[in-house]
Amino acid sequence: DGGWGMWSTWSLPTGPANTITRTRLCDHPAPQFNGQPCVGNNTENQDVQVDGLWGEWSPWSEPKDGVLNRIRLCNNPAPLYGGADCAG
Cis peptide before 77 (omega within 30 of 0): yes
Note if the pTM is more than 0.85: no
> Which of these CATH numbers, 1.10.10.10, 1.10.20.60, 2.20.100.10, 3.40.50.620, describes 1-48?
2.20.100.10
Domain ranges of the chain: 1-48, 50-88
- pLDDT (0 to 100) of residue 82: 86
Q: Residue 58 pLDDT > 80, yes or no?
A: yes
Binned at pLDDT 50, 70 and 90, residue 33 comes out as very high
